[in-house]
A and B are shown apart, each in its own frame.
Chain A
Amino acid sequence: MSAGNRGARIGAGLLLALVLLALWPTAWLPHDPLAQDLLRRLEPPSAQYWLGTDMLGRCNFSRVAAATRISLGAALVAAGALLGVALLWGVSAAVCAGRTRWRWVDALLMRAADVLLGFPTLVLALAIIGVVGPSLTTVVVALVVAWAPGLARIVRVLTLEALQREHVAAAHAAGLPAAVVVRRHVLPGLLAPLAVLASLETAGVLLALSSLSFLGLGAQPPTPEWGVMLSEARPFVQTAPHLLWGPGLAVLLATLAFQLLGEGLRSKLDTRAPLRW
C-alpha cells in the first residue's frame, strides 16, 4: 500500500516536471534547439553545452528539452484518442449486448476486435504506417488502431459488470434511456479503473511512439524528438556516446512516470483487504 502510494507520488512528480518542461518556452532554453554550429560538432558535455553537442553542433540539452513537447504531446494525444475510441467501442458493445435486438452489434464489434487482435500490435501498426506513409500523424493513428481493440475489450467487460449492478438495473427499469443510464450510472464507475489503464497505456504508447520515430517512421529530422535524436546519435556510438544519455533517460523517465502513476493508482483503488492474522 505504502509502496504504491510512494510510487504514485514519484510518478506524479515526474510527470509534473515533464509537463513543465514541455510548456517551457523554447526561447528560454540555453540554446536554440535547431541552431547549428558546425565548428563545434560532437563535443562532450561542458559548462556551455550541458549535454554536449550533436553531429551538427546543436545543443543536445536544448534539444532534449524541446523534444518533450513533441514526444510527450504525441503520446498524450495518442493515449487520449485511444481511450476515446476504446470507450465508445467497449461501452456501445456492452450496451448492445444487453438487448436481444441489438446483440448482433455487440457480436460485430467484438469480432472486429478479435480480427485486429489477431495480429501482433506493433506489426499491425507497422503495416498501417507502411500503407499510409511515414509521419508522426500516421504513427499516432496506427497506434490507436492497433491498441484500441484490446482496450475496448476491457472496457466492455467493465461496462457489462457495471450494468449488472442493482442501481443501474433499477435506473433502467425506471425507464431512463440507455444513454442517460450510461452517462449517469455506468461511466462514473468506470472512471477509476480507466484512469489506471489510461496511465499504463500512455506509458506503452510513449515507448512505441519513440521507437517508431527511432526507426524513422514518425517525427522527421530536424524535429527534436527523443526517438529521432537517438537514431541520429546511433552512428556516433563509438565517438560520442554522451549523445545516448539525454534522450534515452528522457524516454525512460517519461515512461516511468506513467507506469508508477498507473500502478500507484491501481494499488490505491485495490479494495481487496487481505485478512491480517
Chain B
Amino acid sequence: MRRLLSLPPLLLAMSMLAFALVAAAPGDPVVAEAMRQGLALTPDNEAALRQALGLDGSLPERYLRWLGAALHGDFGLSIASGRAVHEEIAGHAWATLMLALAAFALAVPMATAAGLAAAVARSAWAGMAWRLLTVLLVALPGYWLALIALYLAAVHWGIAQVVSDGELRQLWLPALVLALGLAAPASRLVRERALQVMSEDPFRLALAQGLPPRQLLLTRVLPGTLVPVVTFWAQGFGALLGGAVVIEIIFGWPGLGRLVLQSIQERDLPVLQAYLLLMGVVYVAVNLAADLIAAGLDPRMRAGLAASP
C-alpha cells in the first residue's frame, strides 16, 4: 500500500524532470523555428511563434499546461516532421514493444534453464563452460554481437535479411541478440540463488525424506529462486528498453530507437521528451508489477517485513 502511495509523487517528479530537461536546453527554440521557416524575427511574429510553440508564460504555468496536455496523450508537434508527437511515438512503439517482449520471452526460460543446470551440474567441465560463456556474454558489446549475428545469418547462411522491414518473421534475430545479453547475468543470479536454496535445511530434509532430487528441483529450488530474480528481471526490462535502441538501428527494426536517434540528430526535443516520459512510466510500471509479484510469492514481503537476510 505504501508502495502505491509513493507512486504519484514519483511520477510527478519524473514529469518535472522531463519538462525541466527540455526547458533548460541550450538555444532558443523560437529562433530555431524561425530559421527553419525562413522568417526574420520581428517582435511581432516572435510573440506569435512563442505562443504557437507553447513557450509563453512563466515556467510553472508552462509546466502545468504541458502536463495537462500530456495526460491527455498530447505531447505537442514534432519539430522535424510537423506531425503530432503521440502519432510518431505510437507508430514506432509497437515495434519496440514486440522486440522487447520477444527478447524477454526468450531470455527468461534461457536464463532459468541455464542457471538451474549450472547449479546442479556435477562435471567441472560443464561448470567451466557455463562460467566462460556467461562471463563472455556479459562483457560482449551487444551491438558487436548484433553485427556478427547479422553477418553470419544474413551474409553467410542467408537465413535473415540485412535490412529488415519490420515484419514479424524477422523479429527472431534481434530478439535473440537482445535476449542473450540479458540472460547471461540473469542465469548467474539464478544459479547463485539455487545453490543457496539447495544448501538450506528444508531442502536437505526433503532430500533425506527420499524425495527424488529431480522433482525437488521444480518444486523447491525453482520457486526459491523466483523472488530475487523477479526484481532483477524488472530492471532487465528497463535495460532492454534502452539497449533496444542500438539493436534496432543495426537490424533496421522500425522501433522507437530509430525515432529517438533521429530526434537527437535533428534536436526534435518534443519527441525526445515524450520518449523519456513514456519509457519512465513503463519502467516504473514494470518495477511495480515486479514488486507486487514478489510480494505475492513471498508472504514475508506481503506482511510488510521486507525480507532482509
* Interface set of A (CB-CB < 8 Å, partner B): 3, 7, 111, 114-116, 118-134, 203, 207, 210-211, 214-217, 227, 230, 233-234, 237-238, 241, 244, 248, 251-252, 255-256, 259-260
Contact = CB atoms under 8 A, between A and B. Distances in A.
Contacts of B141: 207, 210-211, 248, 251-252, 255
A130 B267 CA distance: 6
Given A123-B275, A134-B264, A248-B148, A214 B26 contact: no
A127 B10 contact: no
Given A130-B260, A234-B250, A248-B144, A256 B242 contact: no
Interface stretch (B114-122, B223-231, B277-285): B277-285
B70 interface: no
A237 B273 CA distance: 34
B55 to A, nearest CB: 16
B21 interface: yes
Chain B interface extent, by class = 35 or more
A144 B147 CA distance: 27
Contacts of A216: 261, 265
Contacts of A237: 147, 150-151, 154-155, 162
B300 interface: no
Contacts of B143: 211, 214, 227, 230
Nearest to B14: A118
B276 A119 contact: yes
A7, A115, A234 — most chain B CB neighbours (10 Å):
A115
Contacts, number: 139
Contact of B263 (A114, A130, A260): A130
A123 B279 contact: yes
Given A115-B17, A118-B10, A127 B140 contact: no
Given A119-B283, A210-B141, A126 B242 contact: yes
B76 interface: no
Of residues B14, B261, B276, which shows the largest number of chain A Cβ atoms within 10 Å of its Cβ? B276
B269 interface: yes
Given A127-B273, A211-B141, A238-B162, 17 more contacts: A115-B17, A118-B10, A118-B11, A118-B13, A123-B242, A127-B272, A131-B22, A203-B139, A207-B142, A211-B142, A214-B246, A244-B151, A248-B148, A252-B140, A255-B140, A255-B141, A260-B135
Contact of B264 (A207, A214, A217): A217
Nearest to B141: A251
22 contacts: A111-B13, A114-B13, A118-B11, A118-B280, A118-B283, A119-B279, A120-B238, A120-B242, A120-B283, A121-B238, A122-B241, A127-B21, A127-B272, A133-B26, A133-B267, A207-B141, A216-B265, A237-B147, A238-B151, A244-B148, A248-B148, A255-B140
Contacts of A131: 21-22, 24-25, 269, 272
A124 B276 contact: yes
Contacts of A260: 135
B280 A119 contact: yes
B138 interface: yes
B35 interface: no
Given A119-B283, A126-B242, A255-B139, A215 B21 contact: no
Contacts of B264: 126, 129-130, 134, 217
Nearest to A233: B147
Given A3-B131, A121-B238, A127 B246 contact: no
Given A127-B21, A130-B264, A256-B136, A251 B144 contact: yes
Contacts of B269: 130-131
B25 A241 contact: no
A53 B61 CA distance: 57
Contacts of A116: 17
B139 A252 contact: yes
B34 to A, nearest CB: 20
A75 B21 CA distance: 24
A20 B75 CA distance: 50
A244 B148 CA distance: 8
Given A119-B279, A133-B267, A256 B139 contact: yes
Given A128-B21, A129-B264, A211-B143, A123 B276 contact: yes
Nearest to A150: B235
Nearest to B11: A118
A27 B20 CA distance: 47
A82 to B, nearest CB: 17
Nearest to A238: B155
Contacts of B24: 131
Interface string B1-18: 000000000110110011
A259 B151 contact: no
Contacts of B140: 252, 255
A98 to B, nearest CB: 20
